[in-house]
Structure 1
Amino acid sequence: MSDQLQVGRVRDAVTLTHQCWLFAVGSTLFATATAPGFADAAGELAANALCFVGSWFFTTAAWIQLVRSGPEGSIGWLSAATQFGGTILFNVSTGSAVWAHQVVAERRLVWAPDAAGSTAFLVSGVLAVVAVGWWAPKSVDWRASWINLIGCLAFGLSALAAFVTRAGVIIDERIANLGTFVGALCFLLAALLVLPRKRAAGP
């Protein structure tokens, strides 16, 4: 009973507003880091560091979404749990990229969790669409879920393009960055769509 009470208190302490803003900040950091020309101007280390910081905003937001979802075992909960696992994998991949991007032999250590995280995001995105229904265009949650799924697909494309060959060469770095950039913008838009609006004050 005490454990249930504690979980209830945590659920009451975190809000949809917290979740949305954390996703929005994380998405903005990812979008900035992978924006065309940013890495050339600021350097790859700065771009990778922004993604690493952004991944922790994603993870915190995903944890809040998992805490707020329910009941355990439902499609919404499975979507949130899968997404949370994906964000942890992005913590690993972006953290590794901070120090490994110059080391050809270590690039696979970056790609493997990145690809797994992108796969988790894609599965989570599909489950989220199933949870809200395949056709409900008047629903904000429905629109946000589809935009989020498009972002997951873009992240998946990015992971495919970032595959590291035996020679340590990324297949297409431009597409890898563009996929992340587009995906981040989609996640940002989805977060802002769901963000609760303050009600206008009454007379």
Structure 2
Amino acid sequence: MSDGGGAGERRRLLLSDASFAVGSVCFAVAALPSIAAALGAVVTNVVFVVGSVFFTLGAGLALGVPDRSSSVIQFVGTLFFNVSTSQALIAAISAGAKGGTGWRPDAFGSICFLVSSVLAVVAVARQRGSSRDRAGVWLNLLGSVLFGFAAVGAFVLPGTDALLSPFWTGVGTVGGALCFLAAAVIGLLPAPGAQRAATASK
């Protein structure tokens, strides 16, 4: 691989991490009950839609980068989130003054994120990645697990409008988004090797 190609891939991954950071902030903020109540159902769901778009952008930027095959599954997961957040927004707009409901994690998107995260952890372990890489993939895995808990908690009990676990729906969404944010921030930090090279060049 040429240095130019390596630099190009690094820029793509930086943009990918930046996109995931923005998307994670959107999901974490919109999932907080106090903020959702202040913003209203429509605006809250708009924030979720914007967050899902940034997730898709982040996963798309990582497609085709060597050792990032897990991004294909992650990208598909973001598309599921695009659909579910858009559906929640349409429902909120249709409800009008009644308020409607906020977005709840969907099972398909959450499963894709979980599978992608597991593959990433395995890949980094096989490649004996740096502690920075290991921290990033494990945080993403934890975030995916929490999104999975949120999806299970968001299951609507048959014959009712009640969720199986409103607690885990909220905590799983906020906690998962914060884990994704932490992983993205780690990815945005300069690699130790790059710091040493920059110091040596001075």
TM score, norm. by length of structure 1:
0.79
User: 2:147 & 2:45 partners in 1: Cα distance?
Assistant: 16
Instruction: Report whether the alignment pairs 1:98 with 2:89.
Output: yes
- The count of residues paired between Structure 1 and Structure 2 equals 183
Q: 2:59 — aligned with what? A: 62
1:178-197 equivalence runs, <5 A:
178-197=171-190
Instruction: Report whether the alignment pairs 1:140 with 2:132.
Output: yes
Instruction: Report whether the alignment pairs 1:116 with 2:113.
Output: no
Q: Where does structure 2 lack aligned partners over 5 or more consecutive residues?
A: none
Q: 2:37 — aligned with what? A: 40
3-state DSSP of counterpart to 1:170: coil
1:6-85 equivalence runs, <5 A:
15-70=12-67, 76-77=68-69, 79-85=70-76
Letter of the 1:165 counterpart: L
User: 2:171 & 2:64 partners in 1: Cα distance?
Assistant: 32
User: 2:42 & 2:126 partners in 1: Cα distance?
Assistant: 41
Instruction: Report whether the alignment pairs 1:87 with 2:78.
Output: yes
Instruction: Report whether the alignment pairs 1:175 with 2:168.
Output: yes
User: 1:13 & 1:141 partners in 2: Cα distance?
Assistant: 14
Kept in 2: contact 1:31–1:182 (CA 8 A): yes
Quote the RMSD (CA, aligned, Å): 2.8
1:48-90 Cα deviation digits (max 9, x unpaired): 21111100000010011113235xxxxx41x111111100000
Distance apart, 1:12 and its partner CA: 5.6
Kept in 2: contact 1:14–1:64 (CA 8 A): no
Q: Where does structure 1 lack aligned partners over 5 or more consecutive residues?
A: 1-7, 71-75
Kept in 2: contact 1:155–1:180 (CA 8 A): yes
Instruction: Report whether the alignment pairs 1:155 with 2:127.
Output: no
Letter of the 2:48 counterpart: C
Distance apart, 1:21 and its partner CA: 0.5
Kept in 2: contact 1:69–1:80 (CA 8 A): no
User: 2:10 & 2:182 partners in 1: Cα distance?
Assistant: 25
User: 1:91 & 1:49 partners in 2: Cα distance?
Assistant: 11
Structure 1 residues 137 and 158: alpha-carbon distance in aligned structure 2, compared to 1, 3 A threshold: same
Letter of the 1:38 counterpart: I
1:28-54 Cα deviation digits (max 9, x unpaired): 111111124111222222222111110
Percent sequence identity is 41
User: 1:135 & 1:22 partners in 2: Cα distance?
Assistant: 25
